[in-house]
Structure 1
Amino acid sequence: MGKGTDKMYITHSEWSNEFSEGGMTFGGAGGRKKTQIFRRLPFDCCSLSLQPFEHPVCTEDGIIFDLVNIVPYLKKFGTNPATGEKLDAKSLIKLNFFKNANDEYHCPISLRVFNENTHIVAIKPSGNVFAYEAVERLNIKAKFWKDLMTDEPFTRKDIITIQ
C-alpha cells in the first residue's frame, strides 16, 4: 500500500525553510528574493540632498539638513521634506558639531568619535552636539541643567536626539 506522503499540514521544517534556499514558497511574489534593504542615512548627511553637510541645521524632530539646501526648499514648498509637515526657517536649529585633529566629528566632552552606532544629541538653545552618554552622566544624572560648553541653561525637553 501507499505511504501517505500527501499530508494535510505543513511540517516545521517546511515553515522554517520558507525564506532560505530550497525552502517552501507559496508562489507569486513570495518566491522572489527581496533585494532592497533599508539603510540608515549617515548622521553627517543632509536629509534632503543625501550629501555630507557644510552648515548643519536640524528640526525639533532631529532631522538634519544642510542650510544651503533647505532654505530654497522652504521658500518654494514651506514643508519639511522628510515628514511633509509645515516648516519655516525660523524653527530650524543651527548645530555646532566639533571635529578632532583627524577631521572626524566627535563629542567635545568625552572626545568619543561619532559613528553609525553612537547616540548623538543636540542641546536646543545652544545647538551644541554631544554624545548622549556625556549628557546623561554630566547633566541628567547630576541634575545640572546647563550646556557643558557654554553654561547656557536648558531643560530636558531641549535635548534633541539626532541619531
Structure 2
Amino acid sequence: MGKKQHSKDRMFITKTEWATEWGGFKSKDNRTVFKRLPFYCCALTFTPFEYPVCTPDGSVFDVMNITPYVIKYGKHPVTGTPLKQQDLIPLNFHKNSEGGFQCPVLNKVFTEFTHIVAVKTTGNVFCYEAVKELNIKTKNWKELLTDEPFTRDDLITIQNPNALDSKFFWILIMLNTI
C-alpha cells in the first residue's frame, strides 16, 4: 500500500465532475430558440394560411381563424388593442409555378430575408424593392398592378428582416417540438 492509494477520495466534487457527471453542464442544443413567425403563417394559430388577411399593423391571419376570434373577443390577438372585422384587409399573394409566394412585379420569391409590403387599398403584396424603385423614388403613387392611387401611409409592412424588433410577435419554439 502506497501513499497515493486514496488520493482520489475527496470530500468534494470538482468542476469537471459537476459539469459532466452531475448535470451541471447544459448543452447549447437544449436551450430554447426564439424564431420569428414566418410571413406565410397565421399569427393566431401559427399554421400556414389559406385566405390571408392582415391588420393595419402588419399582423397576418387566416380569415377562417381571426373572424371568430374578433367576433368573440373584439380585440387584436397579438397586441390586445381593439379590433373590428372592418379593420381586416384581405391580402392577394401571388404564387409562382412551384407554389412559392413571389412578387408579381419582380418575380422575386419571398423568403425570410425579403422585405414584404402590402398596399392597404388593394391588398396586393409586393417586395419592398419593387415599391421603392417604381413608386417611392419616382413619386408615382399608383398601384403597380391595378393603377389605383395610394399614399405612403397605405403601405403595410408584412415582414422587414432589417427591423426584427418592429414586429410584435415572436414565438418560442423548442427544438424538441419541431
Q: Which range, TM-score by smaller chain?
A: 0.7 to 0.9
Counterpart-to-counterpart distance in 2, 1:147 and 1:108: 12
> 1:159 is matched with which residue: 155, 158, 167?
155
> 1:94 is matched with which residue: 90, 95, 107?
90
Is 1:145 aligned to residue 141 of structure 2?
Answer: yes
Between the aligned residues of both structures, percent identity stands at: 57
Shift in Å, 1:37:
1.7
Q: Give the AA of the match of 2:103.
A: C
1:15-67 superposed Cα distances (whole Å, 9 cap, x missing partner): xxxxxxx9xxxxxxxx8667112101111000001111010000000000000
Is 1:133 aligned to residue 129 of structure 2?
Answer: yes
Q: Give the AA of the match of 1:52.
A: P
Q: Give the AA of the match of 1:139.
A: N
> 1:73 is matched with which residue: 69, 73, 80?
69
Q: Give the AA of the match of 2:35.
A: R
Q: What is the match of residue 61 of structure 1?
A: 57
- Matched positions, count: 136
Is 1:118 aligned to residue 114 of structure 2?
Answer: yes
Q: What is the TM-score normalised by the length of structure 1?
A: 0.80
Counterpart-to-counterpart distance in 2, 1:96 and 1:138: 19
Unpaired runs of at least 5, structure 1: 1-21, 23-30
Counterpart-to-counterpart distance in 2, 1:143 and 1:110: 19
Cα RMSD of the aligned pairs, angstroms, is 1.7
Counterpart-to-counterpart distance in 2, 1:75 and 1:59: 15
Q: What is the TM-score normalised by the length of structure 2?
A: 0.73
More strand by share: 2
SS at match of 1:137: helix
Unpaired runs of at least 5, structure 2: 1-15, 17-24, 160-178
Structure number with the bigger relative contact order (C-alpha 8 A, sep ≥ 6) is 2
Counterpart-to-counterpart distance in 1, 2:34 and 2:143: 35
